[in-house]
Amino acid sequence: MRFRQIEVFHAVYTTGSISAAARALHVSQPSVSKVLHHTQYQLGLELFTLVRGRLVATDEAHALFVEVSDIFERLTSLQKTVSNIKNIGGGHIRLAVVPSLGLHVAPLAIARFRKLHPQVTFDVQTLHHDDFFQALYERTCDIAVAYDPPVHPRMKRRVLDTGELMLLFQKDSLLGVDGAVPLSLLDGRDMVGLTTSGPIGDAFTTELKRQGIVVHEVVSNQTFYLAAALTRCGAGMTVVDEFTARASANEVVSFRPLEPPIRFKIECIYLEDRPPSKAAEEFVALFASTLREIRGKDREPAAKEPVAGSRK
């Protein structure tokens, strides 16, 4: 099957009609019909039958679609890569960050960089731990900033700073506790969304097991941001990274570091054979300084009020 045949078969299968497939492909209905009939003749298979005026996929079509779907996805990825290669330039930065850095740190760093270099444009996306290599490989991003990112032989890593896990809670739910919160205090408590996916969640879970601490997870979730939102709404306390905690704190919600502290590295990653452009290198340096400034500001008030960050 040629790409055009794959494209037409995929469109007809997913839309369920010749007319809808033609609209999706921006071609005429006779053109789609011609390609589809030729494909069926060439393969010697009946892929669709007409039932009450509608095209219904046959068992052969269902089996073929499994393979075609994978090929179509890879071809789409190839087209995206070609498009990104054409658009790459020193004046445009494609950045990927973990969701919690997208709450405040990345927007602040980008705004500051744009004031210094207004000619530079950005494309920004948030990704989870396991998606960074694919984004770099497909050139949907040039550089990425992650927490303890995955190890890959093609990826270069550069440590920008460190971060720490925090206990996020409504102030009236944890009275009389100043400074760092001992992990033992969580034993037997109801907890919201202990995010166990990724290296940070694994580190937290490992420390709980090491100390023999058992918590009652009342709501499961996959992101720190959702866990923080649940805490803000009063569903219970949770453990999140410090940047999510800082972005979530208000007059009702507060946060404290844990004892012992659970820290992680904040690293910039990129492909070994695609080093950052000069503009990207300058942005990474500014991003690192923004991280240090934000964490430094939150440490300063600690002498007056024992809030998170006082133990860093």
pLDDT category, 197, cuts 50, 70, 90?
low
User: Among 101-115, 258-272, 287-301, which is the least confidently predicted range?
Assistant: 287-301
Tell which CATH architecture fits domain 3-87: Orthogonal Bundle (1.10)
Burial of 232 (0-12, 13-18, 19+ CB in 10 A): middle
Pairing of strands 155-170, 238-241: antiparallel
Cβ count within 10 A of residue 55: 19
Pairwise CA distance, residues 172 & 177, whole Å: 11
Percent of the chain with pLDDT over 70: 90
Pairing of strands 155-170, 253-259: antiparallel
**Which residues fall within 8 angstroms of residue 158, CB to CB, at 6 or more apart?**
267, 268, 269, 284
Cβ count within 10 A of residue 212: 8
The fold adopted by the segment(s) 163-264 is D-Maltodextrin-Binding Protein; domain 2 (3.40.190)
User: Among 68-72, 103-107, 298-302, which is the least confidently predicted range?
Assistant: 298-302
Tell which CATH architecture fits domain 92-161+265-300: 3-Layer(aba) Sandwich (3.40)
For the question of whether the overall pTM of this predicted structure is more than 0.75, the answer is no
The domain limits of the chain are 3-87, 92-161+265-300, 163-264
What are the tokens at 115? Answer: 């004031």
92-161+265-300 and 163-264 share one CATH topology? yes
Cβ count within 10 A of residue 192: 25
Pairwise CA distance, residues 72 & 308, whole Å: 49
Pairwise CA distance, residues 204 & 99, whole Å: 19
Which amino acid is located at 87 in the chain? Answer: N
